[in-house]
Amino acid sequence: MSRAEELGPRAERAGTVDLGAPATVGTGAPATHMGERTGARTGERAANAPRPNPLWALALFRSELTTTLRRWRTLALLGVLALIPILIGAAVKIETSDGGSLGGGRGADGQGPAFFSQITNNGIFLVFASLAATLPVFLPMVIGVITGDAIAGEAGAGTLRYLLVAPAGRTRLLLAKFTTSMAFCLIATLIVALSGLLTGALLFPLGDVTLISGITVSFEEALLRALGVAALVALSLVGIATVGLFISTLTNSGIAAMATTVGLVVTAQIVDSIPQLHAIHPYLFPHYWLSFADLLREPVYWDELVKNLGLQGLYVAVFGSAAWARFTAKDITA
């Protein structure tokens, strides 16, 4: 019957493959039409165990960073961040265009945002005002979205399994994701700072800067301090970034991880503002965030700055280890 005929050639082929196997399999010398790639490859294969490239970590990190940066969502978030200093600058400019001082009637309660009243005197204060305005919500939200999606999003899309069988290596992939998160803390902060500096320079006068403690320093030194402030703000975000990465290892839904991380930021801020809960305040990651202002004193008040960095380091250590423990043991079922 026809079935039997069909089976004929295949059975025959099965035979030849079996016979041919010891000679061809594993020698890495495939058929001729593979072309010139063959030569290089045979040599490579002769060494048998593939040698990892010394720059392995860098290649994946670069791929990670560019992939994240090429997402429309990332660009939109960074765009919003760039817009905030412009909005603040424009608002201050409009409100003070009649020659009046900022805040007008409501300045009386004395709790207006720090640095805002100084913007009209010196554009560089727009950098500090913008960072102070974005640090409590916008910046951690952006970081929460990016880190929350980092692993859960890839798991949900299924690309995680292909990265892992490439094989990216779980620790290596997590390290690349962590480094990318850290890079984004810096990128996001620098975007706010640069946008603030440019807007401030355009709309307001620049010049020597009077620090919070009343001492005047040159504009150059003020710029250096602004850079220091930006670095401090970026470092203030590494805690929530690591928490976001850990949450990201818990689920296969990027949206859920993002929402949880952003929710956590809001919750921590609320708890931090309830006086009755002061006992736990020193352990909340946003508690010392606004301490970056102490860098604008002469002499600098290091106390809270150091506490902030220590706390962020603690969060990185605890949640980084938790993320590693979870991710390296996780069954990838999506």
- Residue 253 CB, nearest distance to another protein (Å)? 15
**For another protein, the closer CB: 4 or 94:** 4
Footprint on residues 241-300 left by another protein (CB under 8 A) = none
Task: Annotate each residue in 56-95 with x if it binds another protein (CB under 8 A) or - if it does not, as one string.
Answer: x--xx-xx---x--xxx-----------------------
Task: Annotate each residue in 153-192 with x if it binds another protein (CB under 8 A) or - if it does not, as one string.
Answer: ----xxx-xxxxxxxxx--xx-------------------
- Residue 51 CB, nearest distance to another protein (Å)? 7
Is 109 a binder of another protein (CB under 8 A)? no
In DSSP terms, 209 is beta-bridged to 217
Is 34 a binder of another protein (CB under 8 A)? yes
**For another protein, the closer CB: 35 or 99:** 35
Structure tokens at 189: 């902060």
| Burial call 225-248: b when 16+ CB within 10 Å, e when fewer | bbeebbbbbbbbbbbbbbbbbbbb
- Residue 52 CB, nearest distance to another protein (Å)? 4
Of 46-54, 97-105, 239-247, 266-274: span binding another protein (CB under 8 A): 46-54
Three-state secondary structure string covering the chain: CHHHHHHHHHHHHHHHHHHHHHHHCCCCCCCHHHCCHHHHHHHHHHCCCCCCCCCHHHHHHHHHHHHHHCCHHHHHHHHHHHHHHHHHHHHHHHHHCCCCCCCHHHHHHCCCCCCHHHCCCCCCHHHHHHHHHHCCCHHHHHHHHHHHHHHHHHHHHCHHHHHHHCCCCHHHHHHHHHHHHHHHHHHHHHHHHHHHHHHHHHHCCCCCEECCCCCEECHHHHHHHHHHHHHHHHHHCHHHHHHHHHHHCCCCCHHHHHHHHHHHHHHHHHHHCCHHHCCCHHHCCCCCHHHHHHHHCCCCCHHHHHHHHHHHHHHHHHHHHHHHHHHHHCCCCC
C-alpha torsion 9→10→14→16, nearest 10: 30
Contact 313, 139 (CB under 8 A): no
**For another protein, the closer CB: 39 or 282:** 39
Task: Annotate each residue in 11-30 with x if it binds another protein (CB under 8 A) or - if it does not, as one string.
Answer: x-xx--xx-xxx-xxxxxxx
Of 42-50, 190-198, 248-256, 294-302: span binding another protein (CB under 8 A): 42-50
Q: Give residues with Cβ within 8 angstroms of 15, minimum separation 6.
A: none
Is 331 a binder of another protein (CB under 8 A)? yes
**For another protein, the closer CB: 107 or 158:** 158
Q: Applying CB under 8 A, which of residues 94, 108, 279, 329 lies at the interface with another protein?
A: 329
Is 218 a binder of another protein (CB under 8 A)? no
234: closest CA among 143, 315, 146?
143
Of 50-58, 127-135, 184-192, 246-254: span binding another protein (CB under 8 A): 50-58
Q: Applying CB under 8 A, which of residues 40, 94, 108, 279 lies at the interface with another protein?
A: 40
**For another protein, the closer CB: 15 or 104:** 15
Is 46 a binder of another protein (CB under 8 A)? no
Residues in contact with another protein, counted by CB under 8 A, come to a total of 60
Q: Applying CB under 8 A, which of residues 50, 99, 105, 299 lies at the interface with another protein?
A: 50
Residues making contact with another protein (CB under 8 A)? 1, 3-4, 6-7, 10-11, 13-14, 17-18, 20-22, 24-31, 34, 37, 40-41, 45, 49-53, 55-56, 59-60, 62-63, 67, 70-72, 157-159, 161-169, 172-173, 329, 331-333
